[in-house]
Structure 1
Amino acid sequence: MGGVAASALLLVAGPASAHVSVQPQGEAAKGGYAVINFKVPNEKDNASTVKVEVNFPTDHPLASVMPQPVPGWKVDVTKEKLAKPLTMHGNTVNEAVSKVTWTAEDGKIGPGQFQQFPLSVGQLPEDTDQLVFKALQTYDDKEVVRWIEVPKDGEEEPESPAPVLKLTAATGDGHGGGGDGADAAKTSTTSSAHDTATETASAGGSDTTARVLGVVGILVGGAGVAFGVLAGRRRTTG
């Protein structure tokens, strides 16, 4: 799941224009599951980020949220009881994730750096084109930056925009962007069958060729022997 890229602390060109954002690894398809990365840049020149809180949407709750470990950071997943239970894979779900918090232990996000925090999430809703995650970024000088302003279509981006995950059309396989493996297995089986048939045909063709050449060799050899016998008789008669 891109663990090295996701957990490594990377540099950015300039912290002044960056903000907390969320992007999927691949696609985030409606009705499926996806791995998403929250990208948190450090925007201060004299302080480091030591805590990141991401609040999940209550209008489209997500029952399954699994964080990928990030070296140097402790992660806490908070759940709340749903006012209206969800149905997932035939099961009733009474609670959903309301917040995920990363707290620095041995690590931090220093000036001019950013960190990615990956999550596996699902099942994504089918009745919306996006999910809004409001985030809080805490620095070691106690300042808290609130990324909670919801961007609106046709308007300029707000000063502190909330991370927005864009959802793509449903794929029909329930796994959000990449099938469940059935198509790949079918393709692999078909390819293997084709290769086996080709090898068999090739082997059969080679075997047939060898037999033909063998028969030709016997006939040529027999003709040579007959020619030699006839030549010997002629010399004896003469």
Structure 2
Amino acid sequence: MSLKYLAALLGAALCLPAAQAHITLEQKSAVAGSSYKAVFRVGHGCDGAATTAITVFLPEGFVGAKPMPKAGWQTEIGKEKLAQPYDSHGTPVTERAAQISWRGGLLRDAEYDEFVISLSLPATPGKRWIRVLQQCEKGQNDWAAIPVEGQPRPRFPAAALDLLPAAEAHVHPH
């Protein structure tokens, strides 16, 4: 094995933890217009400081959002009026959860946790970027940058969700 090849392998191995350290979604794709369980994975704090709050900013078209409670954390739901109300099981819906926060807990830098939201996705396929603000005992990480093809990956990229047309989704025969 050449020294150049070994150095490249070692360099790639050293980059792995940093690449996996972002706040990401467990399921990176879903069917447009379907129900979705968004599991946000938080793998570290802010430059060594423990995480004390997570706020997820839901893109337009994401509706019916409900956070999963977490022991030791309080949830807060920020709502906004809908431009186009919709019907949910015979009840008119005029507002949506635009942001969901978990506060008051403590997630140490060396620990990992997940924050879960159940919601309905927009019917239009395409990539959606979800901003997540991570607040810590010291500082914060604003996971909001949208990567640009051909450019270096941003330090704090937003979580990506690819909404697939129903025809592309795996369908089980009846």
Q: Give the TM-score taking structure 2 as reference length.
A: 0.76
Indicate yes or no: 2:119 matched with 1:121. Answer: yes
Cα distance per residue 1:139-195 (max 9 Å; x no partner):
112x121111112344432121011112233269xxx9788xxx5xxxxxxxxxxxx
Quote the sequence identity (%): 27
- SS of 1:104's partner is strand
Query: Of 107, 110, 117, which residue of structure 2 is paired with 1:109?
Result: 107
> Unaligned regions of 5+ residues in structure 2, if any?
1-15
> Unaligned regions of 5+ residues in structure 1, if any?
1-12, 184-238
Residue of structure 2 in register with 1:158 after alignment: 154
Q: Which amino acid aligns with 1:104?
A: G
Indicate conservation of the 8 Å contact 1:15/1:42, yes or no.
no
Shift of residue 34, structure 1, vs aligned partner: 1.3
Indicate yes or no: 2:137 matched with 1:140. Answer: yes
Indicate yes or no: 2:132 matched with 1:130. Answer: no
Indicate conservation of the 8 Å contact 2:124/2:163, yes or no.
no
Indicate conservation of the 8 Å contact 1:24/1:34, yes or no.
no
Residue of structure 2 in register with 1:41 after alignment: 43
- SS of 1:133's partner is strand
Once residues 130 and 45 of structure 1 are traced to their aligned partners in structure 2, the CA distance between those partners, rounded to angstroms, is 29
Q: Which shifted more, 30-39 or 88-97?
A: 88-97
Cα distance per residue 1:5-47 (max 9 Å; x no partner):
xxxxxxxx9568611112339x621111011101112244642
Where do 1:77-88 residues align within 5 Å? 77-86=77-86
- Tell me how many residue pairs correspond in the alignment: 159
Where do 1:1-238 residues align within 5 Å? 14=17, 18-24=21-27, 28-44=30-46, 46-58=48-60, 61-86=61-86, 92-105=92-105, 108-122=106-120, 124-141=121-138, 143-170=139-166, 183=174
Alpha carbons of 1:97 and 1:104: their partners in 2 closer, same or farther (altered >3 Å)?
same
Once residues 77 and 155 of structure 1 are traced to their aligned partners in structure 2, the CA distance between those partners, rounded to angstroms, is 35
Shift of residue 50, structure 1, vs aligned partner: 0.4
From the two aligned structures, give the one with the greater strand fraction.
Answer: 2
Residue of structure 1 in register with 2:3 after alignment: none
From the two aligned structures, give the one with the greater helix fraction.
Answer: 1
Once residues 22 and 160 of structure 1 are traced to their aligned partners in structure 2, the CA distance between those partners, rounded to angstroms, is 14
Q: Which amino acid aligns with 2:143?
A: W
Q: Which amino acid aligns with 2:52?
A: V
Shift of residue 104, structure 1, vs aligned partner: 2.6
CA radius of gyration, larger in: 1
**Backbone CA RMSD of aligned residues:** 3.0
